[in-house]
Amino acid sequence: MMNRVLAWAAFAVFCAFLGILVTKVQRLDLTIIVGLTVLLALWDTVRATRGDKPKG
């Protein structure tokens, strides 16, 4: 349970940092890359906190 809370807290801090970066720099290319990065981090966080065991 605590691992899930910490994973989502880390994701929130990561998104906050990237949000500040995007609002301060205001470049379209950076915004696109940050958006893709957040989507990949979200996907990884969801898979890590779901509790599924890896196959293999």
Per-residue pLDDT of the chain (56 residues; tens, 9 = 90+): 899 999 999 999 999 999 999 999 999 999 999 999 999 999 999 999 997 666 65
Domain limits, the chain: 2-49
Alpha carbons within 13 A on the beta-carbon side of 35:
7
Does this model's pTM top 0.75? My answer is yes
